[in-house]
Amino acid sequence: MTKIPVIIDCDPGIDDAMMLTLAFARPELDIKLVTVEAGNLTMDKTTYNTLSFLTYINERVEVAKGIEQPMFRKQEVAEDIHGEGGLGNVKWADPSFEASERPAIQAMVDTLLNAEEPVTIVATGPLTNIAALLFAHPEVKSFIKQISWMGGAAVGGNMSTVAEFNAYVDPHAVEFVFRSGVPIIMSGLDVTHKAYITREEMADLSHLGTPFAEKVADMMNFYTFTQSDTPFYVPGFEKQIRVHDICAVACLIEPEMFKGDDYFVEVELNGSLTQGATLVDYTNRTGNKPNVHVLHTVNREAFIELFFNAVTTIGKKIQ
């Protein structure tokens, strides 16, 4: 099997942990490096959560700390959604290893330049680390196959009426990456809101027969209640758990599961009501060449099967 070399950039976070579950469960991926940044929580917490979760699932890969603040905005986190510690009420494991001595940007540069083929970057937080990488080291662009990002929204937001969290907290980073010329897949709220798990399915997950599956179900049930208690609550959310970040990995290993189109996308940086909006030029009004592949549809049944299989695979592996 030809494996896909991958760098994961994340900010765990409940759905980041589930994304890591899928990524490490799949033999198609060769995970070279995991970098962390502030986003769902502050850097100290996202780093700890990454090390804790990887320790629990017996994966020892370099974890490198990145940027602690957005480029030009005051930091905002999402403890109200993910819990004070960031992983609901679940305790995973005391980390058995420490973060790398190399900062994330240097670790990414070294990994990219030493790879035998172009590397895919999976990004499931604000794009602060990726923007810093491309700004400081534009020479690595040709070594990046694509960036698969969970973030943005073509229609509707979860931080404002138009802005999704990862884009909202560091819109300057997103805009810089979108203009970099590197191929980008955007798994925005348009598709991630369709990639949900029902409460009934979550009950089935808890009965898969491993301690890992039980912990996953406990963590995700916490997510259910916090997702339904937001300013942008939609009726029915309390019955559905949206595992946003998984899409950024799933679309790489099962691309036929998703549908999307290429558009020119730019980011609002200054609007008092629209900051962080990812503006998708559906009608080519700008005349600009498409720069982002925007996903909008997912086969939910296949998505659930993929996720359940990943939880089963990891659960059996660590027993």
Q: Which residues are catalytic?
A: 244
Q: How many CB atoms lie within 10 A of CB 3?
A: 12
Which residue type does 281 have? D
Say which residue the tokens 């900062």 belong to.
103
Pairing of strands 278-280, 144-150: unpaired
* Residue whose C-alpha is closest to residue 242's, from 202, 201, 193: 193
End-to-end CA distance of the chain: 26
* Residue whose C-alpha is closest to residue 279's, from 182, 153, 172: 153
Give the angle subtended at the CA of 56 by the CAs of 54 and 57, to the nearest 5°: 65
DSSP-assigned beta bridge partners for residue 298 = 258
Tokens representing 275 are 């900051």
DSSP-assigned beta bridge partners for residue 120 = 6, 146
Kindly tell me the number of DSSP H helices and DSSP E strands found in the chain: 12, 12
Give the angle subtended at the CA of 101 by the CAs of 168 and 60, to the nearest 5°: 85
In angstroms, the Cα distances linking 316 to 16, 57, 213 are 21, 10, 10
Tokens representing 3 are 């494996």
